Amino acid sequence: MSSINRRSFLASAAALAAAPALGAVPASGDVDVAIIGAGAAGIAAARKVAEFNRSFALLEAGDHVGGRCITDTRSFGAPFDRGAHWIRQMDVNPVASLNKTSGFDVYPAPLGQKIRIGQRYAREGELEAFLANLVRANRAIADAAGRKTDVACAQALPPDLGAWAQTIGFVLGPYGTAKELSAISAADFAKADRDHSGFCRQGYGTLLARTARSLPVQLSTPALAIDWQRGLTITTPRGTINPRTIIVTASVDVLTSGSLKFIPPPKRVLDAAAKLKLGSYERIALDLPGNPLGLASDDAVFEQAQDPKTAAMLANVSGSPLCFVDIGGNLARDLAMQGEKEMVAFALEWLAKIYGTDLKKSVREARATRWLKDPLVLGAWSSAAPGAQSARRTLMEPVDDRIWFAGEAAHETLWGTVQGAWQSGERAAEGALRRIGAFKKPAASAAPAAKAAPSHRR
- 2-11, 182-191, 283-292, 326-335: which has the minimum mean pLDDT? 2-11
> For residue 2, what pLDDT is reported?
34
Tell me the per-residue pLDDT of 368-415, one tens digit each, with 9 for 90 and over.
Answer: 999 999 999 999 999 999 999 999 999 999 999 999 999 999 999 999
> For residue 32, what pLDDT is reported?
97
Q: What is the mean pLDDT of residues 139-157?
A: 97
The DSSP 8-state label assigned to residue 98 in this structure reads: H
> For residue 15, what pLDDT is reported?
35
pTM of the model: 0.90
> For residue 14, what pLDDT is reported?
35
User: Quick one: CA dihedral 132, 133, 135, 140, positive or negative?
Assistant: positive
> For residue 24, what pLDDT is reported?
38
What percent of the chain clears pLDDT 70, i.e. is strictly above it?
Answer: 90
> For residue 11, what pLDDT is reported?
33
Closest CA to 44 of 437, 402, 442, 429: 429
> For residue 443, what pLDDT is reported?
57
Tell me the per-residue pLDDT of 200-231, one tens digit each, with 9 for 90 and over.
Answer: 999 999 999 999 999 999 999 999 999 999 89
Task: Select the more confidently predicted residue: 440 or 161.
Answer: 161
Q: Quickly name the fold that domain 6-106+200-277+384-435 has.
A: FAD/NAD(P)-binding domain (3.50.50)
Q: How far apart are CA 277 and CA 382, in angstroms?
A: 5
pLDDT confidence of 174, banded at 50, 70, 90? very high
Task: Select the more confidently predicted residue: 440 or 266.
Answer: 266
User: Could you tell me if 292 and 103 are in contact, meaning their C-beta atoms sit under 8 angstroms apart?
Assistant: no
Tell me the per-residue pLDDT of 226-244, one tens digit each, with 9 for 90 and over.
Answer: 999 989 999 999 999 999 9
Q: How far apart are CA 410 and CA 112, in angstroms?
A: 30
User: Could you tell me if 106 and 453 are in contact, meaning their C-beta atoms sit under 8 angstroms apart?
Assistant: no
Q: For residue 140, what is the enclosing H or E element? A: helix 124-145
Give the Å distances, CA to CA, from 317 to 5, 298, 348. Answer: 15, 5, 17
- 100-104, 155-159, 388-392, 412-416: which has the minimum mean pLDDT? 100-104
- Residue 261: is its pLDDT beyond 50? yes
Q: What is the mean pLDDT of residues 250-277?
A: 98
Please report, for the chain, the start and end positions of each structural domain, with discontinuous segments joined by +: 6-106+200-277+384-435
In this structure, the strands spanning 198-200 and 80-81 are unpaired
Order of strands across the sheet with 120-121?
A: 120-121, 114-117, 299-303, 312-315, 322-328, 281-287, 365-368
In this structure, the strands spanning 80-81 and 71-72 are antiparallel
Closest CA to 249 of 391, 60, 115: 60
> For residue 369, what pLDDT is reported?
98
- Residue 150: is its pLDDT beyond 90? yes
Q: What is the mean pLDDT of residues 447-451?
A: 41
Q: What is the mean pLDDT of residues 170-197?
A: 94
Q: What is the mean pLDDT of residues 94-102?
A: 91
- Residue 4: is its pLDDT beyond 50? no
> For residue 453, what pLDDT is reported?
35
Mean pLDDT of the chain: 91
Tell me the per-residue pLDDT of 295-312, one tens digit each, with 9 for 90 and over.
Answer: 999 999 999 999 999 999
> For residue 80, what pLDDT is reported?
98
3-state secondary structure of 456: coil
What percent of the chain clears pLDDT 90, i.e. is strictly above it?
Answer: 85
> For residue 100, what pLDDT is reported?
87
- Residue 170: is its pLDDT beyond 80? yes
Task: Select the more confidently predicted residue: 90 or 421.
Answer: 421
DSSP bridge pairs for 114: 301
